[in-house]
Structure 1
């Protein structure tokens, strides 16, 4: 097991419960079934989608921006945007890939606005959530910090420090591939780039991480 798989397992071990990992039990409806119901106006079905995917979305956002309060707000905004865009979603695609595409856009928009307004807040147009069950929390209450287990370990601190030195593009593909376990084509769709770009970014990101970790001595 290489350091990237160690990183992934440490990040996810004990941090994201099975109910929020994006999977579902055999007796539960699939994502496609829930999407169809939600598109027909069933808000409870959308709440199930939120519950099923919120852990991975929050973990992805948190590992991209490293700001707990903003990650919480941004994760909520992502699902509100998903609700608004749901009528246009083609159910032939995977919902998980689609939600990560929205996550990608939201994170990059956040970073762009942060550079322009370093002390400003995201303008989410005060999106209304009145049609969504307010009890459907975006962040799992028992797992408020998906990166806590990672941060507590010496190796985790080194990996986090190395990840922060990657560009946003490189950090994103590493997280999508090694933590979220997405296929290259899914990453390309989520990150809005070509398959070749994904492979190139992964190659350079892994090479950079290996270099950083091999030269960084434990504190």
Structure 2
């Protein structure tokens, strides 16, 4: 079995099979990180594909200052944040009376989904996960990023600093602020009838 460094070196030399092995090694983590940023499976899948394409094209820029995993998480974070920024700029109001057009071109009626979980099932895992995702989606990108990278992906402060291109002190400060925001929102939620 080849080490990660050997696979990276071979990939940089143009060995696509070595790169495929790296993709297999990281695809689930990249997807999970993308899902946390994007909030749905389809977007997470699209972002994952874009991440690996970008990584393959940028492989020559990988200097080895960090692990390949940390480097790929940095690319994932950048790709997802870029997409979220693009979407924020191009938000167009939708009419709820108009039919939605699927990716295959057919029309379907729009359904309005209530994102808040039912009171009697508030502690079930799926609903709790949706609620937490909703809280994350409301956060500033820099706060959302540190929470996801630390608490979901379990990266070290140093790895997060590398991924976000900032100091360890900045990471700790943002993480503290982000957790404080989440804690406050959680307390407010618990006080609701």
TM-score bin (small chain) = 0.7 to 0.9
Query: Over the residues paired in the alignment, what is the CA RMSD in angstroms?
Result: 2.1
The answer to whether the 8 A contact 1:57-1:75 is kept is: yes
Calculate the TM-score normalised by the size of structure 1.
Answer: 0.67
CA shift in 2, pair 1:49/1:151, >3 Å = farther
The answer to whether the 8 A contact 1:184-1:198 is kept is: yes
The answer to whether the 8 A contact 1:62-1:71 is kept is: yes
* Aligned counterpart, 2:99: none
* Aligned counterpart, 1:129: none
* Aligned counterpart, 1:57: 30
Distance 2:127 2:82 in 1: 32
Distance 1:157 1:112 in 2: 22
Q: 2:20 aligns with which of 42, 47, 57?
A: 47
CA shift in 2, pair 1:116/1:160, >3 Å = closer
CA shift in 2, pair 1:69/1:157, >3 Å = closer
Calculate the TM-score normalised by the size of structure 2.
Answer: 0.76
Alignment of 1:189-200 (within 5 A): 189-200=162-173
Q: Which has the higher helix share?
A: 2
Alignment of 1:50-129 (within 5 A): 50-118=23-91
Distance 1:189 1:85 in 2: 17
Q: Quick check: which has more Rg, 1 or 2?
A: 2
Where relative contact order (Cα < 8 A, 6+ residues apart) is larger, the structure is: 1
Gaps of 5+ in 1: 1-27, 120-149
Structure 1 runs of 4+ aligned residues shifted over 6 Å read none
Alignment of 1:165-184 (within 5 A): 165-184=138-157
Per-residue Cα deviation, 1:93-125 (whole angstroms, up to 9, x for no partner): 210111111112211211221122336xxxxxx
The answer to whether the 8 A contact 1:173-1:202 is kept is: yes
Shift, 1:165, TM fit? 2.6
Aligned residues: 162
